[in-house]
């Protein structure tokens, strides 16, 4: 007689070994295919006995395959905490900029640079939030997922910072700073699957970091117009798909999640936003402070 069970929390070969031996002890032979377990046993062994074997080893099983979860089904306490951290940090950055930079040069230059400084805050917080989200997972990812994660964060961070610095300070400085930022984020995100992801992330980071200022410099001739809000809307949305991908590919992993602290998150955001702000103000085409 054949029975198929789905052991939803069996993670690896060790789990298969443990369950396989437990089934053997009651005379059932198990064949594993992921969470699907095909059992061959005597008709005298009841389904309840098979479930008892699974439960006795601390696992849980169903007779029907589990319904695949969508990405938003994985939104949990950590994601809610992340959104809260993002909002609080953005508010803190806006207040800091208002008090520290606002009074410089009488604040008049903010009419010209206020938009870019605001965008710097949003981009810095979005990039750090994506990395924070990744770091909260302890499990490993497949090479393909890791490469994609590295590529998204590397490319988007480079593009977004590059556009801002390129628009305010020209191509050279924009490409120099943004490609460094892109390479850093690409490496940090891609590293989750090893060297291949890191390399992919760094390449994408360099590409984004040079393309961002190139777009900005080319647009400057004809005027930024409505392209700037469109550019940031699309690219920040693409940056947040990082979290969607993460939840789709890692949400089901039963590995323990780490609750990262708010102070570190806020510190990274402030350092990144402050560094980019300084570049915008003190760069060769920036307003300076005198």
Partner 1 sequence: MKHTFTVKGMHCKGCAMLVQDALEQAGAKNIAIKVDEKAQVGTVSCEGNDRASLKASIEAEGYVVQ
For partner 1, the binding residue among 2, 33, 44, 58 (CB under 8 A) is 58
With binding defined as CB under 8 A, does residue 11 bind partner 1?
A: yes
**CB closer to partner 1, 54 vs 281:** 54
With binding defined as CB under 8 A, does residue 15 bind partner 1?
A: yes
With binding defined as CB under 8 A, does residue 17 bind partner 1?
A: yes
Between CA 214 and CA 206 the distance in angstroms is: 13
**Cβ 12 to partner 1 shortest distance, Å:** 6
With binding defined as CB under 8 A, does residue 253 bind partner 1?
A: no
SS3 at position 39 = strand
With binding defined as CB under 8 A, does residue 34 bind partner 1?
A: no
Tokens read off for 131:
């990395």
Between CA 217 and CA 225 the distance in angstroms is: 13
**Cβ 11 to partner 1 shortest distance, Å:** 5
Neighbours of 108 (CB within 10 A): 9
Between CA 174 and CA 214 the distance in angstroms is: 9
Residues numbered 67-126 forming contacts with partner 1, rule: CB under 8 A: none
Between CA 192 and CA 246 the distance in angstroms is: 11
With binding defined as CB under 8 A, does residue 18 bind partner 1?
A: yes
Residues numbered 127-146 forming contacts with partner 1, rule: CB under 8 A: 138
Distances (CA, A) of 152 to 129, 195, 197, 208, 243: 13, 16, 11, 10, 10
Where do contacts with partner 1 occur on this chain (CB under 8 A)? 10-18, 21, 57-58, 138, 255-256
């Amino acid at each position: 007689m054949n029975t198929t069970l789905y052991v939803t929390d069996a993670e690896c070969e060790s789990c298969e070994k443990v369950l396989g031996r437990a089934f053997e002890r009651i005379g059932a032979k198990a064949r594993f295919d992921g969470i699907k377990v095909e059992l061959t046993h005597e008709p005298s062994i009841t389904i309840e006995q098979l479930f008892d074997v699974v439960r006795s080893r601390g696992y849980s099983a169903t007779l029907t395959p589990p319904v695949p979860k969508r990405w938003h089904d994985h939104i949990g306490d950590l994601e809610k905490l992340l959104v809260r951290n993002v909002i609080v940090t953005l508010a803190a950055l806006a207040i800091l900029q208002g008090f520290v930079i606002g009074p410089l040069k009488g604040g008049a230059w903010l009419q010209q640079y206020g938009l870019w400084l605001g965008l710097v805050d949003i981009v810095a917080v979005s990039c750090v939030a994506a990395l924070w989200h990744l770091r909260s997972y302890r499990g490993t990812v497949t090479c393909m997922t890791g490469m994609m994660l590295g590529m998204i964060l590397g490319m988007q961070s480079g593009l977004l910072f590059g556009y801002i610095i390129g628009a305010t300070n020209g191509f050279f400085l924009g490409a120099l700073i943004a490609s460094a930022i892109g390479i850093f984020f690409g490496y940090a995100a891609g590293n989750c699957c090893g060297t291949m992801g890191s390399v992919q992330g760094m390449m994408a980071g360099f590409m984004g970091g040079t393309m961002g200022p190139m777009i900005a410099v080319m647009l400057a001739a004809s005027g930024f117009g409505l392209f700037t809000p469109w550019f940031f809307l699309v690219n920040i949305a693409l940056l947040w798909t990082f979290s969607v991908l993460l939840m789709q590919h890692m949400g089901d992993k039963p590995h323990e999640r780490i609750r990262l602290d708010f102070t570190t998150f806020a510190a990274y955001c402030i350092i990144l936003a402050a560094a980019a702000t300084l570049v915008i103000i003190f760069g060769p085409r920036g307003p300076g402070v005198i």
